[in-house]
Structure 1
Amino acid sequence: MFRYNAIVLLISLLILILRKEYQQQYFIHGFAQGTDYTIKYFARDSIVTKNAVDSILSQIDSSMSLYKPYSLINKLNASSGGLQLDPHFLKVIKRSFEITKSTKGKFDITVKPLVQVWGFGAKPIQDFPDSLTIKQILPCVGMKNLSLDGSFLRKTKPCIQVDVNGIAQGYSVDVVASYLLKKGVTSFVVEIGGELRIKGTKPDGSHFRIGIEGPGDGLNPEPAFKHVIELSNGAITTSGNYRKYLQQGSKKISHLIDPKTGYPLQNSIISATLYAKDAITADGYDNAIMAMEVNEAMTFIKSHRDLEAYIIYRQKDGNISDTLTVGFKKLIADR
């Protein structure tokens, strides 16, 4: 009987191995949320289609895109007292409250008026704002002006407007990843605008390899790959100020706005790459880390066991340096 069971087990293992070997690699590439996306997965058939992914992302855009006039977020921002949220928006808002509390307000989705006035919103600007304009906007910024009553998001003032671009893309990655899992796909990489979620290994058992980009050396650095990491489960997102900025004369400003002062961030961190179990977590926290100084950021990350980080910063002498957590170092393939 033992010999029979052993043979049955061996045959079962061989069937599983053969099934995995027969898996093919499939690619889906498209455009959504003002950027492009790429999905790579392994399966025996093309069970995930581009149309299905586009439909998912279109639903999320209809909920939270500031560039869609008909979106729910634009209706919320135009409302005087608030709005009933759909399931997508509700999940993002709940997570936003959690991250805001955890970071003591460094992450704040009510910065939409500031983002717009500094030229990073849906409408172009002619000039950067003066101090009086910022002073007039600040009373309309702050998560304390929002509250949830079930699925109803209440605003204390009509001027309160939200912008979830700092977290919604990570959420979108997670939603697409969940769809792949529901379809039975257990080996994939989902990437939207550089935010990634990875699951499983390749059919040969090797891990997925991801390049981590950052600024090069010098005072005017060009982007370059810094490390290659290997993952079989989790999410990687990056926030940085060396790519997305505006310049007027000699003045260069970051797209990351400090919700407390109303001005673009001017701290030493140039780029923050975070690892977390899901992309909404990594995406939300990477922006908050950008608002910290290096020592503060590393202390914060070390106090959150679900996060790992690789941070690039500018030293006082202008040279670029980096630092990383022990957990992130373990992910690096070229260490």
Structure 2
Amino acid sequence: MRCVLLFCLAFLLLSSFSKPALKPFHIYGFTQGTSYQVTYYAEDNVISKAQIEHLLSEIDSSLSIYKPYSLISRFNQSASGLQADEHLKSVVKKSLEVSRKTGGAFDITVQPLVQAWGFGTKPVAAPPDSASILLLLKCVGPGKVTLLRNQLRKSAPCIRIDVNGIAQGYTVDVLANYLEKQGIRNYLIEVGGEIRVKGRKQPGGALMSIGIEGPDDQTQGVFPIQKVIRLENGAITASGNYRKFYQSGNKTISHLIDPKTGFPVQNELISVTVWAKNALTADGYDNALMGMGLDKALQFVNGQKNMEAYFIYHRPDGTVADTATTRFYKLME
């Protein structure tokens, strides 16, 4: 009996030592007008590009304002609303929560203004004047959209929503949830710069490294890595005004529109990078923080649980500086 037990113990020990090492697998592609990448660690290739792109296609069919057949496009064209699917319901629910907590700094009903300023689905001949903006503001406001169970309603036909400011973060979370259902415990997912990680690199067990880019005093169309952070769990998303803009005369028109004034956001902030437990939350708040300005944004983040942020901004003399919440510094190398 003793020999049998020793043999069984030896067999178990050998089995544990001979367990196959986890290997990296990579999936790349394009979605939502940008690129995506999925890196996961497993013994075998258990997830295909076709499976990932099927999920991405489902999300596009719900949330893309660039597809006339999508659910969000049908909502925008409707007189009073429609029944939302799980994708649209999840994104709108979070958007309304962020809007409420930030005092309307984030508002998905801003779509008519986004379109008027030339960042929508159709080209515009010129920026809107003040009179046009006043008319459009009548169709903007978080209280003009309600979600009751699965029913997404609007108070007037002119109301249109745009979830581009949060959809990529949501997409990252959908992919992360799918990987975890397949038993994947170590991964990095990125869609358009919005990232979520879990676990560590394999083999070896190193933490995931993420670079944060941004302009500096010498920036001329090239945006160097400003900081590097290392994560084992959570999401990193960013919002900035240094990439997506155009010149109108001597004015720089940013794609970030203040839903209260109807004009592009103008303050000292250049970019905001947010850490949260999931990408939907991080992505929902990064645009809102950009609209608040540095002091108010820092105060807001310091009052939140499970949220940290890093800010790049202009000093009054025009030079570039940065700062972060105390716990965000701990993520940096």
Identify the TM-score tier after normalising by the shorter chain.
over 0.9
Q: 1:264 and 1:5 mapped to 2: Cα distance? A: 74
Q: Under a length normalisation based on structure 1, what TM-score does the superposition of the two structures give? A: 0.94
Deviations 1:39-73 (A, max 9, x none): 11111111111000100010000001011110000
CA distance 1:207–1:303, change in 2 (3 Å): same
Matched, 1:288 2:288: yes
Matched, 1:26 2:1: no
- Partner of 2:171 in structure 1? 172
CA distance 1:17–1:313, change in 2 (3 Å): farther
Q: 1:190 and 1:110 mapped to 2: Cα distance? A: 28
Matched, 1:153 2:152: yes
Question: Where do 1:151-300 residues align within 5 Å?
Answer: 151-203=150-202, 204-218=204-218, 222-300=222-300
User: Secondary structure of 1:198's partner?
Assistant: strand
- Partner of 2:101 in structure 1? 102
CA distance 1:5–1:314, change in 2 (3 Å): farther
Compute the displacement of 1:249 (Å): 2.8
Compute the displacement of 1:167 (Å): 0.6
Conserved 8 A contact 1:26-1:46:
yes
Matched, 1:133 2:132: yes
Deviations 1:154-196 (A, max 9, x none): 1111101000001111000000010000111111000000000
Q: 2:127 and 2:89 mapped to 1: Cα distance? A: 33
Q: 1:277 and 1:7 mapped to 2: Cα distance? A: 46
Question: Where do 1:33-44 residues align within 5 Å?
Answer: 33-44=32-43
Q: 2:119 and 2:88 mapped to 1: Cα distance? A: 22
Q: 2:5 and 2:297 mapped to 1: Cα distance? A: 55
Amino acid at match of 1:31: F
- Partner of 1:78 in structure 2? 77
User: Secondary structure of 2:310's partner?
Assistant: strand
Compute the displacement of 1:305 (Å): 1.5
In the alignment, structure 2 segments of 5+ residues that lack a partner are: none
Kindly report structure 1 stretches of 4+ aligned residues shifted beyond 3 Å: 4-19, 218-222
Compute the displacement of 1:216 (Å): 1.8
Compute the displacement of 1:222 (Å): 3.4
CA distance 1:274–1:8, change in 2 (3 Å): farther
User: Secondary structure of 1:62's partner?
Assistant: helix
Q: 2:302 and 2:29 mapped to 1: Cα distance? A: 36
- 6-15 or 162-171, which moves further after superposition? 6-15
Compute the displacement of 1:316 (Å): 0.9
User: Secondary structure of 2:322's partner?
Assistant: strand
CA distance 1:16–1:190, change in 2 (3 Å): farther
- Partner of 1:119 in structure 2? 118
In the alignment, structure 1 segments of 5+ residues that lack a partner are: none
Q: 2:6 and 2:269 mapped to 1: Cα distance? A: 58
Q: Percent identity?
A: 50
Conserved 8 A contact 1:219-1:318:
no
Deviations 1:198-220 (A, max 9, x none): 01012211101111111121485
Conserved 8 A contact 1:244-1:255:
yes
CA distance 1:15–1:237, change in 2 (3 Å): farther
Matched, 1:321 2:321: yes
Q: 1:227 and 1:329 mapped to 2: Cα distance? A: 10
Compute the displacement of 1:252 (Å): 1.1
Q: 1:309 and 1:12 mapped to 2: Cα distance? A: 47
Q: 1:328 and 1:246 mapped to 2: Cα distance? A: 32
- 211-220 or 22-31, which moves further after superposition? 211-220
CA distance 1:27–1:219, change in 2 (3 Å): closer
Q: Under a length normalisation based on structure 2, what TM-score does the superposition of the two structures give? A: 0.94
Compute the displacement of 1:15 (Å): 5.0
User: Secondary structure of 1:51's partner?
Assistant: helix
Q: 1:77 and 1:156 mapped to 2: Cα distance? A: 12
Conserved 8 A contact 1:218-1:319:
no
Q: 2:50 and 2:11 mapped to 1: Cα distance? A: 38
Compute the displacement of 1:248 (Å): 2.2
CA distance 1:44–1:119, change in 2 (3 Å): same
CA distance 1:12–1:85, change in 2 (3 Å): farther
- Partner of 1:142 in structure 2? 141
CA distance 1:141–1:22, change in 2 (3 Å): same
Conserved 8 A contact 1:269-1:312:
yes
